Amino acid sequence: MNGGFCGAMWNLQDYDAILFDCDGTLADTMPAHYRAWLAVTEPHGIPFDEDRFYSLGGRPTRDILSTLAGEAGVAIDLDGAAVRKEEVFLSQLEGILPIGPVVEVVRRCHGVVPMAVVTGGYRDVCQRILGRLGLADSFVTIVASEDTARHKPDPEPFLEAAGRLQVRAERCLVWEDSGLGIEAARRAGMHWVDVRSFHTPTRLHTP
């Protein structure tokens, strides 16, 4: 079911809906998110290198904080730290750029096939990112972290989106940039495009 974009062809008539992750898929937000994470983790002495950050892409902020704090044996206010992390991220919003090939797909498909955003982030933050990209009115629905009990790599977020759009899972095409997101799409029985096949986000540190 895999389908890389980079020169590969996919036919719009093969799908009844298209589902997009937000961060790192529609918007080149990952460096800004990592800077925001460092603003929260470093004061607590919690290690969080960039490779680990990318490996956790798609998981909700509070879940990541809980995991990292538990591993480091540090007690933190999870809700307060999550709010702080999103505040630092949003302070960088004006510098966020679209990922051109993916946004082009959205513009081409708007009004032709139903589309949804399926994000591990918070709804209000996602809406602000979409507004920044000029895509606020492009999607029928947004499935955010607060909308499902389970999150990527569990298929529930994608299945929730398919249900809202009233389409069968196997008739959905997912655009994703993380291993967890692609695993969720696979488990949902959906086709997918791996954005990493044609887009590499800027990293703060060279691996």
pLDDT digits (tens, 9 = 90+) for 88-108: 999 999 999 999 999 999 999
Contact 23, 119 (CB under 8 A): yes
pLDDT digits (tens, 9 = 90+) for 37-83: 999 999 999 999 999 998 988 888 999 999 999 999 999 999 999 99
Q: For residues 92 and 36, what is the distance between their CA atoms, to the nearest angstrom?
A: 9
The model carries a pTM of 0.88
Cβ neighbours for 106, distance < 8 A, ≥ 6 positions apart:
20, 26, 115, 135, 138
Cβ neighbours for 170, distance < 8 A, ≥ 6 positions apart:
189, 190, 191
Of residues 54 and 156, more confidence is placed in 156
pLDDT digits (tens, 9 = 90+) for 167-177: 999 999 999 99
Give the residue numbers marked as catalytic.
21
Name the average pLDDT for the chain: 92
pLDDT digits (tens, 9 = 90+) for 119-143: 999 999 999 999 999 999 999 999 9
User: In terms of Cα–Cα distance, which of 205, 155, 159 is closest to 183?
Assistant: 155
pLDDT tier for residue 9 given thresholds of 50, 70 and 90: low
Q: Is the pLDDT of residue 109 over 70?
A: yes
Alpha helices in the chain (DSSP H): 30-41, 50-55, 61-72, 78-90, 100-109, 123-133, 156-165, 179-187
| pLDDT cut 70: percent of the chain above it | 94
Q: Which domains does the chain have, with CATH numbers?
A: 12-28+97-197 (3.40.50.1000), 30-93 (1.10.150.240)
Mean pLDDT of 26-44: 95
